[in-house]
Chain A
Amino acid sequence: MILTGSKIIEEVRNGRITIDPFVEKNVSTNSYDFHVGDLIKTYKSQLLDPKLIQEVETHEIADEGFIMHPNKVYLGSTFEIMGSNHYVPIIRGTSSIGRLGLFINITADLIDIGSINRWTLQFNASQSIRIYKRMKIGQVTFWTIKGDITLYKGKYKGTMEPQESLIYKDFEDKEHKK
């Protein structure tokens, strides 16, 4: 089941959902509107090889905005620290952003339970687009879970700024070679 807006407010107050800062006017009927954080990362290499550590460049979104172009991956983060040890979050863009052709995640919309931090956003622009510091960019929904809960302890735990892929670690992992 998906949580309604009023249930999200209740569970934030009960400490069972983290949204920080939390502003009640950003609660929608069944989601919460979040904002983009101040930093954007891009990969230095055009060709991306998952086996290699990728070097990145960090950009700060200026007052006049930051332009994203098609055919380039931009990593941002949520401005809010979010997550829950009780519900599973799913993120998506707001329709206002979707109508401008901007993806805010690349197929990876499901957040692990127990992942409480600034989530990395994966931007892909269909047309060149300017984004502004701390603009409203996406929505998070919260879903009930069935079964025993094990909390996320993975390699991205606790990240507070855009985090590039650490997939190269998969290829060092002995389990992977089984």
Chain B
Amino acid sequence: MILSGPKIDEEVNNGNITIFPFCEYLLNPNSYNYRLDKTVLVPQDSIIDPKEAMKYTTVEIPEEGYILRPDKFYLANTLEIIGSKKYTTTLIGRSSIGRLGLFLQITADLGHIGTSHKWTLELHCVQPLVIYFNMKIGQVAFWENDGKIKNLYSGEYGKCSLPTISKIYKIL
């Protein structure tokens, strides 16, 4: 089952869901709106090779915004620390942003149980688009699990507080 907005609110207050900072006005009927943090990583490789750590430059989004280009993808992160040891998290877009043609993740929408951190967003735009620091950019939903929860996630990306590049090169 997916949690309703009032249930998300209740479980944040009970400590079963972490959303920090948490603002009640960002609750939706069945999700929570998260905002965009300040740092964007811009990949520099013309061909991305999973066997090597990706080269990138780091940009801080200026006051007047930062323009994303369709021929690239970008890594950014949520302003909020988000996670739960009790529920499964899924990362979804807001329709206001989807209607402007911005993907927030590239098919990877499922979060792990047990980790709370600033989530890395995989940004890709269809048309050039301006993004602003602190704008409401996406939504997160929480799902009940069926079955015993063991082995809470302790993987590579569990403690990230900045946009984090793919670590797949470590296993190839």
| Chain A interface (Cβ < 8 Å from any Cβ of B) | 1, 43, 46-51, 54, 71-73, 75, 88, 105-110, 112-114, 120, 122, 124, 143-152, 154, 156, 163-167, 170-171, 175-176, 178
Number of interface residues of B (CB under 8 A): 46
Q: Do A46 and B3 touch (CB < 8 A)?
A: no
Q: Which of B21-29, B41-49, B75-83, B149-157 contacts A (4 or more CB under 8 A)?
A: B21-29
B6 cross-chain contacts in A, Cβ below 8 A: 147-150
Contacts of B161 in A (CB 8 A): none
Question: Given A49-B65, A170-B135, A150–B126 Cβ distance below 8 Å?
Answer: no
Q: What are 19 A-to-B residue pairs whose CB atoms are below 8 Å?
A: A73-B99, A73-B126, A75-B99, A107-B103, A107-B109, A108-B98, A112-B31, A113-B29, A113-B30, A122-B99, A145-B1, A145-B30, A146-B4, A147-B8, A163-B99, A165-B96, A167-B97, A170-B135, A170-B136
Q: Judge if B101 is at the interface, Cβ distance under 8 Å.
A: yes
Q: Which residues of A contact B160 (CB under 8 A)?
A: none
Given contacts A51-B132, A112-B28, contact A73 B101 (CB under 8 A): yes
Q: Is the CB of B99 within 8 A of A164?
A: yes
User: How far, in whole Å, are A60 and B48 apart by their CA atoms in the complex?
Assistant: 40
Identify the B interface with A (CB < 8 A).
1-8, 10, 23, 25, 28-31, 65, 67, 70, 92-105, 109, 126-132, 135-136, 138-139, 141, 144
Contact of A109 among B92, B127, B131 (CB under 8 A): B92
Check if A112 sits within 8 Å of B101, measured CB to CB: no
**Bound complex: CA of A87 vs CA of B102, how far in Å?**
27
Residue of A nearest to B92 (CB): A110
Instruction: Using CB atoms, name the residue of chain A closest to B67.
Output: A47
Q: Are B2 and A88 in contact (CB under 8 A)?
A: yes
The answer to whether B130 and A51 have CB atoms under 8 Å apart is yes
